[in-house]
Amino acid sequence: MVLRQQGVALITALLIVAIATVAAVAMATRQQMDIRRTAGMLHGEQAYAYILGAESWAQVVLARDKRDSKIDTLYENWATQPPVSIVEGGSIIGRIVDLQGRFNVNGLVDNKGVADKDAIARYKRLLRQLDLDDSLAESLADWIDKDINVLFPNGAEDGTYLGVSPPYRAANRPLVDISELRLIKGYEPDIIQKLRPFIAALPEITPLNVNTASAEVLMTVAENMSVADGEAMIAARGEEGFQTVAKFTGLKELSGKKQLTTGKLGVESDWFLMVGEANIGQSRARLASLIQRTSNATLVVRRQREFLEPVVAPVPDQNE
């Protein structure tokens, strides 16, 4: 009887030890998970704080440039790709993009919301240069303009979009972001990807900065121009840039060309995009900040946590 009681006591003790061990392991595992979760949250907040610091840096750099220079070129401090900055626990990288060096698609309509034929013609030149269907110009202009009349021959208004599933209406207002193009007739993902480096969607109609525009965008300012003409104009502006629009319009590449949009050209910019990324521990924070620079202030108009703009400036393919 005593031996039996001792056996029961031993089994009970072993059972208690097993339960205690399982509980201890579970507690230790949960503690480790809590530690990792807390560290992830702290690192995420730290990374976002760092990227907000990069945004402030961009504002300071742009404000200083506004004070010290009357033009904007790709050889100024703000346009330089800075190296990776090493910070406690990780790193930060970012750059500033001049959005007025791109074709502003919201300029396809004037300030009254009426389609601008000259701007549409310019946009068609860009589309053709990129081997895209120039009918995309009419569908985009119809999406932005205020009326419900279809632009002949390739426009698209409510009648087009109410026939899809699910149905929706044309916005009849300017784009807020380039990603909205996916809603517009003809704008497939591969087309948007091809257009993205050359276009912007700004909150107001803006002049094109001829000191920062690419060859593909520069060749749209007049009829019958090629990328070679655009590259020649880039070579002519050099590192110093054009001091005035008249210096640009006086180039031989533009001599005798029709539809030169001199009133929509400029040598400085007010709209920029700061894109940056901070990596702290296992956490990452990304930020794209739309910045408006005026003579009085440098303002952050919009922030996006997810975006497609490269944080590191793309390197041209030497085989192209």
Question: Could you tell me which residues come within 8 angstroms of residue 150 by beta carbon, excluding any fewer than 6 positions away?
Answer: 142, 156, 157, 159
Distances (CA, A) of 139 to 76, 102, 148, 185, 254: 37, 20, 12, 6, 29
Strands 85-87 and 90-98: antiparallel
94 with 56: CB under 8 angstroms? no
Residue 302 lies in a domain: yes
Question: Could you tell me which residues come within 8 angstroms of residue 137 by beta carbon, excluding any fewer than 6 positions away?
Answer: 108, 120, 123, 124, 127, 154
Residue 274 belongs to a domain with what CATH number?
A: 3.30.1300.30
Q: How far apart are the first and last CA of the chain?
A: 94
Question: Could you tell me which residues come within 8 angstroms of residue 133 by beta carbon, excluding any fewer than 6 positions away?
Answer: 127, 186
Mean pLDDT of the chain: 89
Residue 130 lies in a domain: no
Residue 99 lies in a domain: yes
Residue 186 lies in a domain: no
Residue 223 lies in a domain: yes
How many structural domains does the chain have? 1
What pLDDT shows up at residue 320? 47
Alpha carbon distance 204, 206 (integer Å): 6
Taking 70 as the pLDDT cut, the residues of the chain under it are 1-8, 31, 34-40, 258-263, 316-320
What pLDDT shows up at residue 286? 95
Residue 190 lies in a domain: no
Question: Could you tell me which residues come within 8 angstroms of residue 218 by beta carbon, excluding any fewer than 6 positions away?
Answer: 210, 229, 230, 233, 234
- For 46-73, what is each residue's pLDDT tens digit? 999 999 999 999 999 999 999 999 999 9
Residue 91 lies in a domain: yes
Residue 120 lies in a domain: no
Residue numbers of the domain that contains 97: 1-111+198-320
Burial of 275 (0-12, 13-18, 19+ CB in 10 A): buried
